[in-house]
Structure 1
Amino acid sequence: MSAHPAESEALLTPSEVATLFRVDPKTVTRWAKAGKLSSIRTLGGHRRYRESEVRELLNGVPQPREGKA
């Protein structure tokens, strides 16, 4: 039996999350510290974010319209 049940779920780096939201990676880290987004720590101490949670949060954020002058 595995100690990590969510092993198959994709994890994103702060940079990948920042690209999706069009913000700086430090902003993503601040969101995690504020509890707006949960993070997982790697053995090296780096943060990783569950893709499903990020996508859910992203769907609640209004997207800028393309081609609007």
Structure 2
Amino acid sequence: MTARTHDPEQLLTPAEVASMFRVDPKTVTRWAKAGKLSAIRTLGGHRRYRESEVRDLLHEQIPAPRESVEDLSAQ
């Protein structure tokens, strides 16, 4: 027998992804159909999403911090 040396990628359900983005799970399914997020199908036909890909997409959605009014007036 050979032992696996790496941990398998964590997979998330549509509900878990939806809670991270604060959207409905159907929205997550639409993102997958549109190619914004890749889905893996289970043997039962359910979608699962790679946690690393979801986190990357989540970080893309977070806007960059804006300069405060105080920072702008000091210039």
**TM bucket by the smaller chain?**
0.7 to 0.9
Gaps of 5+ in 2: 1-5, 64-75
| Structure with the greater alpha carbon radius of gyration | 2
The alpha carbon displacement at 1:10 in A equals 0.1
One-letter code of the match for 2:9?
E
Aligned to 2:54: 54
Secondary structure, counterpart of 1:48 in structure 2: strand
Distance 2:8 2:35 in 1: 24
Secondary structure, counterpart of 2:61 in structure 1: coil
The alpha carbon displacement at 1:7 in A equals 6.9
Structure 1: 4+ residue segments shifted above 4 A: none
Distance 2:11 2:62 in 1: 23
Greater share of helix: 2
Gaps of 5+ in 1: 1-5, 64-69
State the number of aligned residues.
58
TM-score normalised per structure 1: 0.79
Identity in percent = 76
